[in-house]
Every structure is written in structure tokens, then in C-alpha cells.
Amino acid sequence: MSATGQVKRVSVPEIAARKGKEPVSMLTAYTVSVARLLDPHVDCLLVGDSLGMVLYGMDSTLPVTVDMMIAHGAAVVRGSSHACVVVDMPWASYQESPQQAFRNAARILAETGCQAVKLEGGEEMADTVDFLVRRGIPVVGHVGLTPQAVNALGGYKARGRSEAEQQKILGDARAISEAGAFAIVVEGVVEPLGRLVTEQVGAVTIGIGASAACDGQVLVSDDMLGLFGGFTPKFVKRYADIGPLVAEAAKAYTDDVRARRFPGPEHVFGVKKPT
């Protein structure tokens, strides 16, 4: 709470200071209504490019655009007042050069009002992270299973099962942390590797399918709430199963409409008698 009585938004330095302390809670949000519900309870809201699959029915995150991320990022910022809001940089919006990354990251920050951007990649993105951070753009990294590299990785499979792959992911995390990322999402890795990454990097680690030893955790809200049908990843815990309730409500509504039970007298407007 600020001196004016308004809720104070969690800042990037506050998240960075949580290394090795109270774990950071992060959930995805893509809309004003969901942001309002989650905001009082979490430290960070991630506007993930997972919205391509969750909201738009895409087969991967690759078709998501900067304009889409800005539209949803701005909605989440408007719907929140407490959580630190992080917006994903979509595929092909930052890989070409640090300069390209800066132009798009600056636009995302300016047009959404978010506190930080997130990008995927390891050692190959360290120069870009450094370029952004030196110019005042807070960055969250993302290593391990990186969905934007699904074609190169051959699918959404757990990473770090071989010694060589473990060393590669460790090196990626160190490089991104040393380049200035204040936090790193560690996704879809074997548990000992998630623990090791957390021990060896200075950035706050946010696990998703990694380890309880990470400095925080993130889940896709629609997975956690049972709203996103189909395959449920091993690392998702269902805290509610809202999907069937929505379907039941839609059926009850349709039954009432067809039986002319809705709208009832209490739902329509009468004609006022002249005075």
C-alpha cells in the first residue's frame, strides 16, 4: 500500500530480491476479467504467448504477433494493480538482432504499461539480453523446454535427460543471468537440473515442470483451472475444474431459452405509466 492508500504494484527489484527467499507466485493472464481475479493473490502475471494456443486455438505459439501481445498485455495491465506484469516477446520479434529486440521490447513496454518482457533462448541471446537491460528494459529469460523452438527440439518433451543436454541448459541459464536477466523461467527439465540451475545462477528461477527448489513457480491459468481441454501436462496441478461448470451453465441456459423460461418477468423492462 502506498502513502496515498493505493495498492503498490510489485516491482522488478522486489522480485529480484526474492532469490532464495519467499517463493514467487506467477500465473498467466490474457484478459481484464482474469487479471482482476488473479491479481490480489499472485506476485506476477505473465501474458504468455501461450495465448496463441489457449485463446486462439493455434497449434503452437509461432503465429503469435507483437500486436497480439500488446493488445492482451495492455488488457492485463488495466485489469491489475498489484502484480508485476511480464509480457512475452513472440517468435521472430527479437532473434534477428539486439536492435530489433529493443524496438519491439520498447514498444511492448510503452503500449502496455507492463514492467518487463520475457524472451526465450540461452547463450545465443545473452548479447540481446545485455543490450536490453543496459537500455532500461527489464528482462525475464526462458531456458529448458522453449516452446518457440518446438520445431528444432522435435516436440514438447522433457529436457536435460543426458549429461550433455544438462550442461547446455546450465550454460544457457548462466549466460542469461550474467547478461542481466532478473528472472529466468526454467521449463520442462528433469528435477535435479531445475534444482541445480537455481543453485548456480543469480537470477530468480521460475519453475514450470522443473523443481520445487526453484525460486518461484508459474502455471498456465487455464490448465490450472481446467478450462483448456485436451492434453494436460504432467507438471500441471488442477486447483479447480471449471470447464464442466461452464458447459453445464451453457446447457442450462439453452434449455431455459428453448423452453421460454428465460427471460422471465424479472429480466425484462416494463412500460412506465405516465405521471
Instruction: Report CA torsion sign: 146, 147, 150, 156.
Output: positive
11 annotated binding-site participant: no
- The one catalytic residue among 14, 22, 178, 187: 187
User: CA distances (Å), 239 to each of 28, 140, 208, 211, 222, in order?
Assistant: 14, 26, 15, 19, 10
The question of whether 187 is a catalytic residue gets the answer: yes
Q: Which long-range contacts (CB under 8 A, 24 or more apart) does 189-195 make?
A: 189/144, 189/145, 189/158, 189/159, 189/160, 190/158, 190/159, 190/160, 190/161, 190/166, 193/144, 193/159, 193/160, 193/166, 193/169, 194/144
237 annotated binding-site participant: no
CA dist., res. 234 & res. 187, Å (int): 12
Residue 189 bridge partners (DSSP) = 159
49 annotated binding-site participant: yes
25 annotated binding-site participant: no
Q: Angle 84-206-179 (CA atoms, 0-180°, nearest 5)?
A: 85
Say if CB 226 and CB 209 are below 8 A apart.
Answer: no
59 annotated binding-site participant: no
Active site residue ranges: 187
Task: List, as residue ranges, the binding site.
Answer: 49-50, 88, 118, 120
Task: List, as residue ranges, the binding site for 3-methyl-2-oxobutanoate.
Answer: 49-50, 88, 118
Task: List, as residue ranges, the binding site for Mg(2+).
Answer: 49, 88, 120
